[in-house]
Each structure stands twice: as structure tokens, then as C-alpha cells.
Amino acid sequence: MSGCTDMAFRLISREHKAGFCFFEMIDANALYRGHKDTIRRLKTHRKDTPIAAQLLGEKPHVLLDAAKKLIDLTDIAFLDINAACPVRKVTRKGCGSALLREPQKLFEIIETLAINLPCPVTVKLRTGYEKSSPKESQIIAKNCQEAGAKALFVHGRTRAQGYAGDIDYDAIKAIKESVKIPVFGSGNILNPVLAKRMFDETECDGILVARGALGNPWIFQDIEEYLKTGQIAPKRPLPLKKKTLKRHLYYLEKYKVLRPKGRLGFMRKVAIWYLKGVPEACKVRDSIVRARSYKELIRVINGVIKEAPSPKMPSS
């Protein structure tokens, strides 16, 4: 997730049993030009492993040069090609999910990188551009495999749906049935029940958690436990949420993950993720937004003492 999965986010996720993590999505053109902020996003830690990188671009030679630079800068388990991002500023450049409209270009990109890189190449896809089509998805998936892709990550929505609407589990299952390489399901995995549904309905080899982990790093261990036992973990108490939030902010501060100019603003954003739903949330949010330093933000967090109300149990 661009703008979210920095090193602090990844370290917190790993502490709660995330199996592997990605760098934030990397613009191949920016890395190719040596953009400082893009290179800063590649900051990592000895505990931040295994890790993969996802490149966004549309020109095979630029993607290849950027990938080689990336591999020189950091050790990655594999390189993923983004053919899934639905954001307009991305697709209008022919990148992300726009590659689904030019599949031959996508296959050329995969082949170019697979032949010339020392690490495995994977692809992030959607179930279609305007409409979901299991048959068309199967054709694209097979050709990705033939071009050299070693795994597919499939978001179960179309480009037109963006991040809203129903997940097309049938399309993901169709892709899984059409290829021999691993297929990972993605989209709307916001809790353990939805994670299990993805496995059950698609028979995928694994899943990707994205928005479900924002302010909720426990989701990874909760999914693992639910898949093993069928038990739903209890809601985390406020003191634990605050402790984990402060640890997340500490990583952001200690490792200087972001430039000083944008760091505090991002810290406020992270705090709002964790404290969403607490009583008097508007007042808490206002206090977070008005914090003018890291220390002041910590004081605001320490001052949040009210628990969110427990959900009512259904009557018998």
C-alpha cells in the first residue's frame, strides 16, 4: 500500500505474525531517475525480512533498469509487477491496471524481467478492467505464467470497481485452476472470517492483507488463530492499543522513516487509525491533529483513557 507500508508499519506487522511484507509500491520511473524520496522508501532493518518489492511502470527497459538498481540497493525475495493499481493518475500513464488493456505489453514486461533478473518475478492483477471475466482472467494468467511469472497476486475486483464493491471469488478460483504457479487472493480481507472465506471460495495458496492491517496489526495473528481453531480473538483493550500505537510511532521517530517535514503529519494519521472508534472520537481526533510535536502527540495518546463500548451480544 503506497503511503502506508513503510518500515515502521512492516516491523509492527511482523511482530504480530505477518508472514512476509512488501515495500511501498515503487514508481520505476522515479527509481530510474534516482528520486531521493523513492530511494528513502527502501530503508529497511535486519528484522525486516523476508521482503518483496513491487514496481509500477509500463516501459520494459525502464522497469528492468529500475529493478536492477533496486536489487543493488536492497535484498529482496522477489519482484512484483503492479498490473492492479486502479488510481486514475496511475492508469492514465498506462501503468497499473491499465496494463490489463494491453496484455501483450504486460507479457513483454514479465519476460524481460524474468530473463534478466536473479530473483523471481511475480505479478499483481485484477479480475478485469471494466468488467470481471473469469475466462479472460484465465487467459491473462496463463500467459503471465508462460512469460515467466512465478506467482500471481489477484485482487478480486476490476479496475472500474476500485476498492469498493463485491469480491469476485469465482474469478480468482478460475485463475487458480488455470495455472500451476501459486495464486494469492487479495481484496476485502478485513478480518479473519473474510480471510477464511477467501481460502474456502478460491482455493488460493495464500492471501494478502492490506487495509485490514491499518491500526490493527493483530489481524495477522488473529487470522492464523482462526484458521487453526475457528476462534475469534477478543477485542484488544485500549491500553494495549495505546502501547502498540506508541511503539509504531517510536519506530517512525527512531528510524527517521520519513522526511522531518512530513513525519509528524503521518504520525497523526497513524494515531487516528489506531484510535478509531474510541468514545468522543471527534475530540480525540481534533487533539491529534493539533499536536505540534512527537512528544505532544504522545501526551495526547496517553490522555485517551476511555474504552470503546463492547458490542452488544445477541439476545437468545
Q: How confident is the model at residue 316 (pLDDT cuts 50, 70, 90)?
A: very low
Looking at the fold, whether 84 and 155 belong to one and the same domain comes out as yes
Out of 170-174, 249-253, 256-260, 295-299, least confident range: 256-260
Looking at the fold, whether 126 and 222 belong to one and the same domain comes out as yes
- Quick one: pLDDT at residue 95? 97
Domain boundary among 206, 229, 252: 229
- Quick one: pLDDT at residue 305? 73
CA distance 198 to 31: 34
Domain boundary among 202, 229, 256: 229
Q: Please compute the mean of the pLDDT values over residues 172-200 and round it to a whole number.
A: 98
- Cβ pair 16, 218 in contact under 8 A: yes
CB atoms within 10 A of CB 92: 10
- Cβ pair 55, 81 in contact under 8 A: yes
Across the strands, what pairs with 122? 80
- Quick one: pLDDT at residue 1? 67
pTM of structure: 0.92
> DSSP class of residue 24?
P
Give the residue numbers marked as catalytic: 85
Give 27-38 pLDDT, tens digit per residue: 999 999 999 989
Q: Which of 252, 258, 264 is nearest to 41 (CA)?
A: 258
Residue 310 lies in a domain: no
Looking at the fold, whether 155 and 267 belong to one and the same domain comes out as no
Looking at the fold, whether 160 and 13 belong to one and the same domain comes out as yes
**Which domain range does residue 255 map to?**
238-302
For 54, list phi and psi in degrees, rounded to 5: -120, 125
- Quick one: pLDDT at residue 309? 53
Question: Which position has the higher pLDDT, 279 or 116?
Answer: 116
Looking at the fold, whether 67 and 208 belong to one and the same domain comes out as yes
Residue 117 lies in a domain: yes
pLDDT of 53 > 70? The answer is: yes
215's grid cell: 491500526
SS3 288: helix
Q: Please compute the mean of the pLDDT values over residues 134-139 and round it to a whole number.
A: 92
Looking at the fold, whether 27 and 113 belong to one and the same domain comes out as yes
pLDDT of 291 > 60? The answer is: yes
The CATH number that applies at residue 87 is: 3.20.20.70
pLDDT of 315 > 50? The answer is: no
Residue 55 lies in a domain: yes
% of the chain exceeding 90 in pLDDT: 87
Q: Please compute the mean of the pLDDT values over residues 44-61 and round it to a whole number.
A: 96
- Cβ pair 275, 241 in contact under 8 A: yes
- Quick one: pLDDT at residue 314? 38
Looking at the fold, whether 98 and 246 belong to one and the same domain comes out as no
- Quick one: pLDDT at residue 307? 57
Give the chain's domain count: 2
Q: Please compute the mean of the pLDDT values over residues 9-26 and round it to a whole number.
A: 96
Strands (E), the chain: 21-22, 26-27, 51-56, 79-82, 121-126, 152-155, 183-186, 206-208
Helix boundaries (H) for 92-202: 103-116, 134-147, 169-178, 192-202
Mean pLDDT of the chain: 94
From first CA to last CA, the distance across the chain in angstroms is 42
Looking at the fold, whether 49 and 196 belong to one and the same domain comes out as yes
pLDDT of 230 > 80? The answer is: yes
- Cβ pair 42, 71 in contact under 8 A: no
pLDDT of 41 > 60? The answer is: yes
- Quick one: pLDDT at residue 3? 77
- Cβ pair 99, 105 in contact under 8 A: yes
- Quick one: pLDDT at residue 133? 85
Q: Please compute the mean of the pLDDT values over residues 110-137 and round it to a whole number.
A: 96
